[in-house]
Amino acid sequence: MFKRMLSAFGVGGPSVDTVLDSPHATPGQVVTGQVHIQGGSADAEIGQIVLSLVTRVEAEHGDHEYGGTAEFHRVVVGHSLRVAPGQLVSVPFSLPLPWETPITAVGSAHLHGMTVGVHTELVVAGAPDKGDLDPIAVHPLPAQERVLDAFGELGFRFRRADVEMGRLHGVPQDIGFYQEIEFVPPAQFAGRINEVELTFVANPHELYVVLEADKRGGMFSSGGDSFGHFRLSHQDAVHADWTGLIGQWLSQVAERGGHSAFGGGYAEHGHNPAFGGHSPEYGHAGYPQHGYPQHGYEHHGYEHHERRGPGVGGIVAGAAAGFVGGMVVGEVLDEVFDGDEGGEDFAFGEFEE
């Protein structure tokens, strides 16, 4: 994305510029590109070229909430390189995105609060040096986009998204965080449901869809959170009637606090009003039309209880800094983004709710 002088070599040292073949990807896809190292005024010995995936995360520690950066995947793409003065060395790479990589874009719309990037690090004399940072627009898988389409068809509006440290009860995870996509419910739920949060956890074979509805309390009923849990194969998830499934679940949740039929029309395919505009398909063949029969899905219904800590349905919270669930989190990584474009998205600091 941009060249950066390597401070370890001082003035006149080499610069690094990582170029992605495409800035767009989906979870499970392989990102390819090249790392260009331009020699400076003297010979340079580079021990390793390391690429890592990073994102912004939030974590609770005691009564405080922290925001920081997390590295959740890293690969060594080159080692033992000598770069002569003025020499240009290009190293091709392939970087697989984990299936649980957070979504940062739906169609042409960026999800507010989300950032995923490829960080390039050159290890010189055993010490890492600040390198390049290139953002990736991570688009939903076909099955995930079907679920997002359903939210638009039901009249929901996107509010924000974030990534939280921790694990979900009953959902297998390879990474120690999960993404929450928050929606404002349609008018028919006014006064009963504050918001609905959506979480995807994917693997090569299945998609878990976790829903959390934040219910308002009334004179004769208590508030709290209700959860829905769906588990389907990717193929079944593409064909499932998500508008019907989500609508039915929300109706059951809302009925606990009142009597109202849930309604919602279908939107034109490819247009997701929840995200404020046209949502073109990305990176896959066209979806089947609405109304395919649902089959082969597992639905764990819903449960209702008061919140007992952060996140969705029983979370083992991660620490605000340190090594958690295969990730490096904390201020050391934050130094990567000092002075970089988009560094504000990766700022580390404590904030109160």
Instruction: Using a cut of 0.75, tell me whether the model's pTM lies above it.
Output: no
Q: What is the pLDDT of residue 323?
A: 35
Instruction: Looking at mean pLDDT, say which of 77-91, 117-131, 271-285 comes out highest.
Output: 77-91
Pairwise pLDDT comparison (127 vs 221), residue with the higher score: 127
Residue 295 has pLDDT above 80, yes or no: no
Q: Has residue 282 got a pLDDT over 70?
A: no
pLDDT at residue 243 tops 50: yes
Q: What is the mean pLDDT of residues 153-167?
A: 94
Which CATH class for the 4-139+324-344 domain?
mainly beta
pLDDT at residue 32 tops 80: yes
Q: What is the mean pLDDT of residues 154-175?
A: 94
Confidence class for position 182, pLDDT limits 50, 70, 90: very high
Q: Which of 26-30, 172-176, 178-182, 247-251 has the lowest mean pLDDT?
A: 247-251
Q: Which residues contact 74 (CB under 8 A, 6 or more apart)?
A: 50, 51, 52, 53
pLDDT of residue 181: 97
Residue 2 reports pLDDT greater than 60: no
Alpha-carbon distance of 199 to 211, in angstroms, equals 7
User: Is the predicted pLDDT of residue 9 greater than 80, yes or no?
Assistant: no
Lowest-confidence range among 25-34, 169-178, 307-316? 307-316
| 8 A C-beta contact, residue 181 and residue 237 | no
Q: Is the pLDDT of residue 102 over 70?
A: yes
3-class SS letters over the chain:
CCCEECHHHCCCCCEEEEEECCCEECCCCEEEEEEEEECCCCCEEEEEEEEEEEEEEEEEECCEEEEEEEEEEEEEEEEEEEECCCCEEEEEEEEECCCCCCCCEECCEECCCCCEEEEEEEEECCEEECCCEEECEECCCHHHHHHHHHHHHCCCEEEEEEEEECCCCCCCCCCCEEEEEEEECCHHHCCCEEEEEEEEEECCCEEEEEEEEEECCCCCCCCEEEEEEEEEEHHHHHHCCHHHHHHHHHHHHHHCCCCCCCCCCCCCCCEEHHHCEECCCCCCCCCCCCCCCCCCCEEEEEEEECCCCCCCCCCCCCCCCEEECCEEECHHHHHHHCCCCCHHHHCCEEECC
259 pLDDT above the threshold of 80: no
What's the mean pLDDT when you consider all of the chain?
Answer: 74
**In the chain, domain spans:** 4-139+324-344, 142-305
User: What pLDDT is attached to residue 318?
Assistant: 31
The pLDDT value recorded for residue 293 is 31
Residue 154 · residue 146 · CB < 8 Å: no
Give me the pLDDT at residue 324, please. Answer: 38
pLDDT of 343 strictly over 90: no
Lowest mean pLDDT among 100-104, 208-212, 224-228: 224-228
User: Looking at residues 228-247, what average pLDDT do you find?
Assistant: 95
pLDDT of residue 341: 39
CB 89 within 8 A of CB 83: yes
* Averaged pLDDT, 207-218: 82
| pLDDT given at position 123 | 86
pLDDT band at 278 (very low <50, low <70, confident <90, very high): very low
164: pLDDT confidence band, cut at 50, 70 and 90?
very high
**Position with higher pLDDT, 85 vs 322:** 85
User: In this model, does residue 100 exceed pLDDT 80?
Assistant: yes
Name the more confident of 344 and 79: 79
